[in-house]
Amino acid sequence: MTHGPIMLDLEGFELTDAERELIVHPLVGGIILFTRNYRDPSQLEYLTRSIRELRPEILIAVDHEGGRVQRFRDGFTRIPPMARLGELFMKDPEAALELAWDTGWLMASELLAYGLDFTFAPVLDLDYGNSEVIGDRAFSGRPEIVTRLADALIEGLHEAGMPAIGKHFPGHGYVAADSHVDLPIDVRPFSEIDDSCLKPFTALCPLLDGVMPAHVIYEKVSPEPAGFSPYWLKDILRRQLGFKGVIFSDDLGMAGAAAAGDYSARAHAALSAGCDMVLVCNDREGALQVIDALKDYDFSPRSEQRLSALSVLSRPTLDALDADPRYNRVADQLEELI
């Protein structure tokens, strides 16, 4: 098994002996980095290199969208919240689309140069003005604007050679509760979701390399949160929308995941529902429970193929980026937008 079905986090700036053992475990296929794993650019470069010396093929990810969700700051270009691009779109659509493309390219180029494979972006949620966790992470409250700007950002990610992971399927923006600390419930019928939140996912499925579902229950559609729902993942995302990429669970340590049971039950439920890889973060004991629970799991060869397709083929060098006039121009444009 080249890419196991589990993505784990790390404690700090350098690998511990226990983490070195986990990284080479065949069930571990990915590592996600957080702010606590970043001190400065040279440290990040050393950390990703240390991971790859143990497992060259492992996937290294981060939540690095811009605004309040940008894990690496000092030494990286500051990325504005995506809502700033939505505001620019209302004034000058052409300029906003060009900058969205360039933002995807710059963001991806920087992360790739430091040894990462992808960021969990773009956010395809709509901003309804009442979500505690989405808000200005969304491009807009209008699905057609979200679709156009996300399309451009995805093209920029792809130009740099980075996969694009859309979230949070089928849309987290309508509910007020934060699934990190609560279990949000969306009371709308499928027809209303289909006509609003689902539209960006429907339009962009052919471009997306991965999708992350929401820890939200859409009670008139399916009794489970979307990430544990065969209806949402297999019937809607795979069959109806024809999505062919990787489905990542959101973090199984979040409060919104607790509806599925203990960590073992959460992992089995997510994978059985259609996820290819489960994230277990901020709870090492929970991660070890998942590894133990999946030791006899019959991992799908199709999931393995999907995960292998996320491997990065080429990376820019930091020197090449620094010398690139486009890189410096876009960095200046983004600073102005902030």
Strands 59-62 and 118-119, how do they pair? parallel
Question: Of 250, 251, 268, 276, which one is the catalytic site residue?
Answer: 250
276 given a catalytic annotation:
no
Residues in the chain: 338
Q: 25 an active-site residue?
A: no
Catalytic residue (choose from 158, 180, 283, 324): 180
β partners of residue 28: 6
Supply the residues annotated as catalytic: 180, 250
